Structure 1
Amino acid sequence: MLEKIRQYFIFGDSAAKLYGLAILTGLLASLIIIALRLFIDYGQIVLFPSGVVDDFANLSWHWIVGLPIVGGLLIGLLLTGLKPEERNTGVVHVIERLTSHEGRLPWQNAIRQFIGASIALMTGHSVGREGPSVHLGAASGSQLASFLDLPNNSVRILVACGSAAAIAASFNTPIAGVIFAMEVIMMEYHIASFLPIILASVTGTVISRVTFGETAVFANLSADMQSLWEIPYIVLMGVVIGGLATLFIRSLDFFSQLFKQRPFWLRTTFAGVLVGLAGLFMPDVMGMSYNAISGISMNQIALSALLMLMLLKLFLSTACVGLGIPGGLIGPTLVVGASAGAALGVIGASFFPDLSSSMTFYAVIGMCAMMGATLKAPLAALMAMLELTGNPNIILPGMLAIVFSSLVNHDYFKQDALFLKLLRTRGLDFRNDPVTQTLRRISVANAMQRNFIIMSRHISTQAAVHALDSNPDWVLIKEDREPVALMPAGDLARAVSTEEQEEMDLMQIPANRRNVHKISLHTSLHEAVQSLESHHVEALYVTRMTAPMIERTYGILTRETIESHYQLPYAVTVKHQ
C-alpha cells in the first residue's frame, strides 16, 4: 500500500500532489514552531525566579552572568565530538543542503537545532528564534518528502514550503513567509513553486493565529511619515544602516574564525561569557530583545541607550552565532535596525523638530533597511515590516531606505548576502544560474524516456525479433546482470534484418552504442548533468529500489533529452515539472 502511494507521488499529477503536501508541510512546520516557542517560554517560566518570560532585567547579577555561561557550556558539551557537518544548523544549513544535497535535511541536525536553540534562548544568548524555526520548518518538509520517496525537485519545493510556514508562524506574516522562501531560501521566483509555498504559508499562519492570536507582532510601532521633506534624511539613514549591515557581516566573519582551533565547548562557553558581561550593563541585549523594541515604541529609551543597544546587539549576536551557538540572526538584524533607526530619528528630531516623524517611524524604517541589506532580501524585508506593523504607509520610505542601504552594503562595500557569505566561508560553491534553476525544477522521472527494452548481450535472433514487436526507441544492453551500453532500437532492427546466424552479440553488431551509468529516479536533471560529466558517459538508465535487494529500471535519459528541457520555450518546460 505504501509503495503504491509512493509511486503515485512520483508519477502522479504534479500540481495536485504538491498542493496537498504543501498544506501538510505547513501544518507540520507550524506545529513544530509552536512547540519550540512554548518550550522556550515555559522553560523560562520554570527557570526564572520571577516566573516571567524574557525577564532578564529583573534577574540578579549572578543569574545574568551565570545563565548564558552555563547555557553555552551545555550547548558545547552537547555538540562536542560531532563532525562540523553534524553541527550545522539554521538557514545556512538549509541553503547548503539545497545546494549540495537537493534539500535532503538530516533529522539529527533538526533535533540538535531544537534542543540547542531552546537552551540558547532560555539562557539569554543574544540570538533569534526565526533562524532555527526556518531550519525546523524546512526539515519537516524534507522528512515528509523522504518518507514518501519523492523526487528531489519535489523535495526542494517542500523544503521551501516548510521555510515559508516557519516564518509565517513565527512572525504571523504569511506574505513575508512566501517572499522569504523564494528570495532567501530558493533564490528564485517561479510560478510552479509559488502556489504550494503560498498554501504552506497560509496554513502556518492560520495555526499560529489559532494558538497565539491575530495581533501583529509590532503593531505598536505603527507610525506615518509626517512630511516629504524627510526623504533626504531617509536616504541618509539608508546609507548609515548600509554601513551597519557591512559591519554586521564582517563581525560575523571575524567571530566565525575566532578560536577556530580551540575545543568547540570552549568557544560556546566564551560566547556565554561575552553575553553575561554585556548583560550586566544592559540586560535588554539578552535573548531576542523584542522587549527593547517595545520600549522604543513607547519612547522610553534614551539616545545613549539606543546606541549602546545597537552596538552590543550587533557584536553579541554575531559573536554567539560565529562561535557556534545554534541561534538565528534574522531577529537580531531587526533589533539592530530598530535601534539605529530610532537613534537617527532622535537625532533628526533635534535638528528639525517640526518636520521629523516619530522615533517609532524611524525604528520601523531602520528594521526594513537593516534586514533588507543584510539578507539581500529587499522584498521579504518590506513585506515583513508591512505585516509586522500593519501599516501600509511605511512602504514608500521603506523602499527608499532599503535601496540605499543595499547599495552601500553590496555595491560599495562588496558584501554578499549574509547566508551566502557563511556558505562560502565553509568552502561551498553556490551556483544559481538560470540553466541550473531550470534543471533543478525538473525531475528525472518526468523527463526520462520510458519506451525501451532490456536485453542480454548474447541473444538469439528470434528473441530479438520478438522484442522489437513492441516498437521500442532504445535497447539497454546487459552483461552479467549489469547494464553496459545503450543503443537505438533502429540499429538492432537493421542488424536483425541482415543477420544470418541464430545468435547475436549486441556489443559486436554495427550500432551507435553509448556508455551508460545508473542514476536514481529521485534525482533532478541538474544532478543528471553532473552524473554525465563526472562519469564520462553519454546516457543514464534510471532506477529505484522497490524492495530490499530489488532494483527496477524505469527509463532512459540522454544528454539530448536533458538539453531539450532548457532549450525549449518556457511554457513547454513547465509541463514537465
Structure 2
Amino acid sequence: MRPTSTAVPAGFFATRRRWLELRWRLLQRALTHSAFRDDELAFLGIAAVAGVLAALCVVVMRIIVTAIHVTAFQIPAGQPLSMGGVREWPLVLIVPVAGGLAVGAVTWAIRRKRPHEIVDAIEANALYGGRMSVRDSLNLALLSMLSSGVGASVGLEAAYTQIGSGLSSQLAEFLKLRRDDRRTLVGCGAAAAIAAAFNAPLAGAFFAFELILGSYTLAQLAPVTIAALAGTFVTRWVFGDDPVFTVSHGVHIHGWDYAVFLGLGLLSALVGIVVMRGATATEGWLRQHVPPAWLRPGIGAIPVGLLALVWPQVLGSGRGGIELDLHTALPLPFLIGLVLAKIAASAISIGAGFRGGLFSSALFIGSLMGGAIAMLIDRLVPAAVLDPLAYSLVGMGTVAAAIVGAPTAMILLVLEATGDFAATVGAMVGVVAASIAVRHWFGYSFATWRFHTRGLKIRSPEDVAWFDEIKVGRLMRSDPKTVPVDITIAALRRAYPLGSTKQVFAIEDGKLAGMIDLSEAYGPDLEGDPAVLTARGLVHDAPFLLPTDGLRQALAAFGESRLETLPVVNDRNARQTVGYLTEAYALRRYAQELERRRGESDGGSSLFGGTPSTP
C-alpha cells in the first residue's frame, strides 16, 4: 500500500486566510449595520463586552504589579506593599530610585514617538466626542504599572480607567457608533474599571456618571450599570469577593459625631488642596532645577524613599495600609507622622513624573486622618464615647471626594464596603462638606486641576466641543450696513431712516472703525448742523468676530461687550466687514442645538423641528 501523505496542500493557508478575512468583513458589516447600532438591547450587549474587557485589563495589571512588588521588595506573596512588610530596609530606598530612573527612561522613549499629551476619558468626552487612542492608553498603563510597581505613592486607578475607556472607545469606533453612544461607552469602560478595582459596582457606575459622563440620564443608566456589574463579576470570579477594605464590627455614631464629621470634611478639603497644589509645586521646582525630564522621577523618588525608611506604609497605593489602619491600633505620634508622610509622598510622586492615580492614596490618607482625629478627641475629652472605625470610614470618603471629585461614588463606596447605613450617613455629611469646600476654595478636582495646569479650560466632561463646531461664518448675516466714518449726519439719516435698523458699522480706509447707534444720530440733543457734522463723534469701539470663531467664543464676546450685535470681519489685520451676528440669533441657535443633542441622548426627538432658519 502507498503511504498516506500528510503534506498540506499548496495554497491551503492562503485560502484559509482569505476565508477568515471574508468572514471578518461580513461580521464587521453586520455589527456596523444601522439596525444593529440603533438597537437598545444590542447596545447593552456592547456595554457588557466593554465591561468585561476593562475588568480583564484590571486583573492582568493587578497581577503584574503584585508580582513586581514581591520580586523587587522581597515581601511575602499576598501581602500588599503598603502594609510595610519590606524585610530588607535598603530596598526601600534603592528600588524607588532605580525604578524612578526606569520610569523616566521609558517616558522619554515614549515621548520621542508620541510627543503629545495623552488624552484621558474626561478630556476625550469633553473635547473629542469620546475618541481615545488605544496606543496612548497602553503607554499610560505601562508607565502606571512601572510607577506603582517600584513603590511610588500612586495607585493604578488612572491606568484602569484609561485602558478601560480606551478599549471602549476603540470598540465604539469599530462599530461606528454615534457620538453620544461613543461617549456613553467610554463611561462604561471607566465604570467597569473602577467597579472591578474596588469590587463596588455602584461606586463604579456613579464614578462614571460624575467624572466621565458629567450627567445622569435614563439612556445612560442601563449600559453603565451593566458594564459595572460585568466588571465586578469578572474580578470576583478571578479574585473572589475581595473588597477594598473590611470592617470588623458595626459602626456606632452619636448625634454630636455629625458635627465632628462636618469639621472633618472641611479639614479633608484643605488636605486635598494641599496634595493638588503640592504636586504642581513639585513639578514646577523639578522643571526649574532638573532640566532633563527623564531624571526627575529618580530625583523625586529620593525623598519618597527617605520617608519610607521611617514610614514604609507610604510605598504603593495604600490599599493594604487601609486594612492595617482599620485593624491595628497604631500609636498616635506614628499615625500623625504617617498622615503627613503619605501626603508628601503622594504629592512628590505625582509632581516628579510618576504616572498613576490618587484614588487609593486618598482613601488611605483619609483613613489615617480620621483615626488620628478620633484618638485626639479621646485624649482631649476622655468622657466622649466615639468609634474610631466610624471616623476612619468618614475620613476615607471625605479626602477621596476632595481629591478625586466624585462625592456620590465615595458615599456609595463606603456603603458597599461596609453595608452599614449609619457609616454611610456619616460619610455623606463629611463628603458633602468636603466637596462644597473644595469647590468654593479651589474650584478643581485633581483631574480638572491637571487640565488647568496644561491650559485646558475643562471643568467637567460635559461635551463642549460642539460649541466650536458651529462657526460664526455659518450664523452671520452677510449684508452688513456700512458707512464711511466721515459721512455727515444728514447723509446718514437719508441712507438709514429712523426705524430701518438699530446700528451701522463705520468704515475707515477699508477697515472696521467701530459701530454707530442710529438712535444717537436722531437724538434731539445733537449739537451742530447735521449737514456739516460728521458721524465720527458717534462711533463707538466694538469687539469683532471672525468667521472661524466658534459659537462659544461668540457668546462670550456678547457677554463681555453687553452689545446686541457684533460685526464679523475677514481678518484681524485687514478688518474688512463681511457680516454681523446678533446675540438673539446666537442664543437661539445654541438652544436649538442643545435641545437636538439632548433629544438624541435621550433617544427622543428635538422640540425644534426642521432646519435652523437664517438670521
The TM-score, its normalising length taken from structure 1, stands at: 0.74
Deviations 1:325-370 (A, max 9, x none): 1111111111111111110011112233443322221110001111
Q: Which of 320, 325, 330 is the equivalent residue of 1:301? A: 330
Deviations 1:81-110 (A, max 9, x none): 516975755xx7222222232222212222
Structure 2 residues without counterparts, runs of 5 or longer:
1-25, 471-546, 556-567, 572-577, 580-586, 607-615
Contact kept, 8 Å, 2:123 with 2:461, in 1: the verdict is: no
Report the counterpart of residue 252 of structure 2 in structure 1: 225
Distance 1:84 1:403, change over 3 A: farther
Residue 264 (structure 1) shift:
1.7
Matched, 1:162 2:217: no
Distance 1:360 1:86, change over 3 A: farther
Contact kept, 8 Å, 1:65 with 1:277, in 2: the verdict is: yes
Whole-angstrom distance in 1 between the partners of 2:271 and 2:64: 33
Deviations 1:255-280 (A, max 9, x none): 23232252221111112212211111
Report the counterpart of residue 219 of structure 2 in structure 1: 192
Report the counterpart of residue 341 of structure 2 in structure 1: 312
Report the counterpart of residue 327 of structure 1 in structure 2: 356
Report the counterpart of residue 363 of structure 1 in structure 2: 392
After TM superposition, the structure 1 = structure 2 runs for residues 382-397 of structure 1, keeping only pairs within 5 Å, are: 382-397=411-426
Whole-angstrom distance in 2 between the partners of 1:535 and 1:161: 44
Distance 1:152 1:535, change over 3 A: farther
Counterpart residue identity of residue 265, structure 1: W
Residue 563 (structure 1) shift:
5.9
Report the counterpart of residue 374 of structure 1 in structure 2: 403
Report the counterpart of residue 86 of structure 2 in structure 1: 58
Report the counterpart of residue 33 of structure 1 in structure 2: 58
After TM superposition, the structure 1 = structure 2 runs for residues 44-443 of structure 1, keeping only pairs within 5 Å, are: 44-52=69-77, 53-55=79-81, 56-81=84-109, 82=111, 86=115, 88=117, 93-220=120-247, 223-260=250-287, 262-411=291-440, 413-430=441-458, 436=463
Whole-angstrom distance in 1 between the partners of 2:418 and 2:206: 17
The aligned length equals: 467
Distance 1:573 1:30, change over 3 A: closer
Counterpart residue identity of residue 250, structure 1: R
Contact kept, 8 Å, 2:304 with 2:348, in 1: the verdict is: no
Whole-angstrom distance in 2 between the partners of 1:88 and 1:221: 44
Contact kept, 8 Å, 2:246 with 2:418, in 1: the verdict is: yes
Please report the RMSD computed on the Cα atoms of aligned residues, expressed in angstroms.
Answer: 3.3
Report the counterpart of residue 48 of structure 2 in structure 1: 23
SS in 2 for 1:65: helix
Whole-angstrom distance in 2 between the partners of 1:80 and 1:116: 11
Bigger shift: residues 332-341 or 392-401: 392-401
SS in 2 for 1:188: coil
Structure 1 residues without counterparts, runs of 5 or longer:
445-516, 518-524, 539-558
Residue 303 (structure 1) shift:
1.1
Contact kept, 8 Å, 2:73 with 2:86, in 1: the verdict is: no
Contact kept, 8 Å, 2:100 with 2:297, in 1: the verdict is: yes
* Higher CA-based Rg: 2
Whole-angstrom distance in 2 between the partners of 1:243 and 1:348: 20
Residue 576 (structure 1) shift:
5.4
Counterpart residue identity of residue 321, structure 1: I
Contact kept, 8 Å, 2:68 with 2:150, in 1: the verdict is: no
Counterpart residue identity of residue 193, structure 1: Q
Whole-angstrom distance in 2 between the partners of 1:120 and 1:253: 18
Contact kept, 8 Å, 1:230 with 1:355, in 2: the verdict is: no
Counterpart residue identity of residue 213, structure 1: G
Whole-angstrom distance in 2 between the partners of 1:535 and 1:393: 64
Deviations 1:268-302 (A, max 9, x none): 11122122111111111111222322222223211
After TM superposition, the structure 1 = structure 2 runs for residues 465-544 of structure 1, keeping only pairs within 5 Å, are: none
Distance 1:295 1:431, change over 3 A: closer
Report the counterpart of residue 29 of structure 2 in structure 1: 4
The TM-score, its normalising length taken from structure 2, stands at: 0.69
Counterpart residue identity of residue 16, structure 1: L
Bigger shift: residues 49-58 or 416-425: 49-58
Contact kept, 8 Å, 2:365 with 2:399, in 1: the verdict is: yes
Contact kept, 8 Å, 1:342 with 1:362, in 2: the verdict is: yes
Matched, 1:43 2:71: no
Whole-angstrom distance in 2 between the partners of 1:78 and 1:534: 48
Whole-angstrom distance in 2 between the partners of 1:175 and 1:327: 23
Distance 1:193 1:222, change over 3 A: farther
